[in-house]
Structure 1
Amino acid sequence: MCLFFGERAAIELSRRRQGGLRRRHAQQRRWQQHPGRRRRRQRARDQGSRLHHHARRFGRSQGRQADRREQAAEGRRARDPAPAKPKPGRAVSPNGLLGEAFTIPAATDKLPDFAGLTATKAFIANGLDAAATAPIAGLPKSVAAPVALRFTGSVNVITAGEYKLCAKTDDGSQLYIEDTLIVDNDGVKTEATEVCELVSLDPGEYKLELRTFHTSAPIVVGLAWAEGKDGTPAAIPLKNLYKPEGADARAKAGK
């Protein structure tokens, strides 16, 4: 009796499970077949398809734009060739003085009026050292006495103090600082003569002009300085001398 009751109970439970499954399946079918849900599913599918289509179109558009940009760049390169590379050369130094040569009569006995003269030669003087074998570094071989020379540029003073400025020439010379006559060594000389003057200078760059004339060889020009009245004059170093604007162009042109 007990066994029979157990079998019937099991059968009943199985029937109930099957009935519950059938009811759930029916509910799912009704939910899926609801018109509103079908429309929403269809819209989702359509939207996904449109997004995919737009993404493909956007990718193709971007690719076409990149191709057009590359074609335009190639056209510009073909139309505008790359500039030629500059040829290697020596760097131009700012140091030195602009030298100018003027023709004068052999009987000249003092510095001429340079305002009334025309330079026959322009060059860059890389130092004025009367003690050197070639006192005027950079003087062209074509420049010979009788001749008047003018050197222009600037001198750079690093330390403030009193400086002894000296001009040594054969024949006469005059040294100007900021258009003020500092050293007057004019007149015909039988040998190179040095004249010095003491000036007080602050740190900075000062306009410099040295005028000389030479009636006969050798052409000796020296520009020296010393700190203090008891200092021993030495040639002003090239690193302290600076060319005026346009000096290299004039030297290249030769006038």
Structure 2
Amino acid sequence: MKNLIKAQLYQISHTRVYYLVFAAMMLLSALFGAVEYLNGSDSLEEWQKLTASDFATRIDTIVTLSMMGMTFFAAYFCADDFSDKTANYEMMSGRLRKQAYFARASVSIVMCTLFGLIMVFTSLGVSYILNGWGDSVPFSAVAIRILLLTFPFIRLSCLYVMIAFFIRRSGLSFLAFYGLMSVVSILKAADDDSGVLTAFSSIGKLMKYNEWHIFGLESGVEVVYTPMPEAGFIVRCIIVSLAVGALYLVIGYNFFHSDDLE
């Protein structure tokens, strides 16, 4: 399987479209970091610019964009080799289906998770460079929340891998992923109280900062944020994300193992 992973990485590093998509998504991330700080400011008429810590509490859009990028990479990393029969040739040369499956799955999960984290940190970094950090939320709390996205990102990547091996067509897999994101975002289940029913609800709860508005008689409105989510939710998020992600991989492998390749 080690050689198959190396082959996957070699193929990825020599595919120009991946670089173009990555560059485009990073550019979008940087642009949002540069202009999104104006959205939702308390006094736009006074040209009040939000700091990076304020931007961190409104970073949901960037996380959504990162998940869209993950759908593209997962679809093509896992399913593109079926269009030119590369996966078939691997097994004809003596490779096991288990090796072909988990080589692609491991590369997709790692690359998609890293991509999502890099995109979020890039946007936040641009906002910090332009506006400074501020004092709304400590940087350590924001960094921990973003790093905790690793676990729902892994869960989401495993789901994408499973669907890609079900469909085995990169373009159709991408459309299926995008459709799934759209449907789940509409469902009430995406806002469950536990925060772990879906990967989307876990991501939403990690990125949601509880806030209080303090009104003063002689001062403006001040907003106070809760820096960290509840410890119980963090534990649930990690355990459920890894367990469900592993379940997705097992289901995908069982289907691929018993399926007849065309």
TM bucket normalised to smaller:
under 0.3
TM-score norm. by structure 1 comes to 0.21
TM-score norm. by structure 2 comes to 0.21
- Larger strand proportion, structure 1 or 2? 1
- Which has the bigger relative contact order, CA under 8 A and spacing at least 6? 2
- Larger helix proportion, structure 1 or 2? 2
